[in-house]
Amino acid sequence: MGCVQSGTCKPPFSDTITVLELNASIDPNPTTVDESSDVVLRYRTPYFRASAQVLVPPVLKKEIWTIGWIQACNQMDFYNHYGNEGLSSWELPELRSGRVCALSDSDGVSYPWYGSTSEIYTVVGPTRRDTRLTVAMNDNFHPSVTWSVPIATAGSAPQLTGIRRHQRFTTWLVARNEASGETRLLRTLRWRMRLRIDVDPRGHRGQRAHLLEPHLQEPPQLMPTNEPIPPSALLPPNANDAQTLMWRPSNAAPVMVIPPRYTHTHVP
């Protein structure tokens, strides 16, 4: 007899894991700019924050379930303009070429998880009671951009005229059986960070940079249905290890200034 008729079938354990509460936001403050260094301009963006309270029913078997956040970068446009000289660009070659649609944004150690502290919670079975847990993550950008072109000699005059940045991310709340690999997507978020800073290299340091937009970032989107996680979001390299710094002069061939730390490419 079918399980509907007999009434003996139970849903998969992962389907009984419940999200009780989810909060996602970007801090309501503008990007801050720091001109204290005579070598680089620094800026710090507001934080993206996500937190979820999850209920895991009793784990009757000797299993380990991990609940946590997985994040991938879907787009990285990060350009530093130096007037008529050209621009520098932090790039993700596989993403830029379209070879993959997302790259892991793991910490580079705890694949596929975004991190291994507050970002995940591990439930070790068997357990007799429900487990009520909270997992939280945050992300922001705090880079340094050279005042002079990145291949200039030390002491060169400031030439930086502007910074443009637009990055998009997908963030998943996930439950995974560590033995079987069974995975359930609990929630899917999308968020982005945009930035535009104009710089007058002739100005006095401390008065050169001006944040044009945006002063407040768009709020994250909770997707109405879960989106599948691409394989490239689960495996090395992560975005930090895959990125390369290119110098793209106005009238010459591009120059790789900093190569990627991880040269492995994903196999389609």
pLDDT digit string (tens) for 185-224? 999 999 999 999 999 999 999 999 999 988 889 999 999 9
Question: Which strands form 131-139's sheet, in the order they lie side by side?
Answer: 18-26, 48-56, 131-139
Whether 188 is in a domain gets the answer yes
CA dist 207 and 204 (Å) reads: 6
Give domain status of residue 102, yes or no.
yes
Classify residue 1: in a domain, yes or no: no
* 105-161 per-position pLDDT tens digit: 999 999 999 999 999 999 999 999 999 999 999 999 999 999 999 997 767 899 999
Number of domains in the chain: 1
pTM exceeds 0.75: yes
User: Does position 265 have pLDDT exceeding 60, yes or no?
Assistant: no
| CA distances to 19, 47, 55, 226 from 132, in Å | 10, 26, 5, 22
CA-based diameter of the chain, in Å?
82
**Could you tell me the residue range of the domain that residue 71 belongs to?**
11-221+228-258
Q: Indicate whether 156 belongs to any domain.
A: yes
Q: 41: which strand partners?
A: 145
User: Does a structural domain hold residue 62?
Assistant: yes
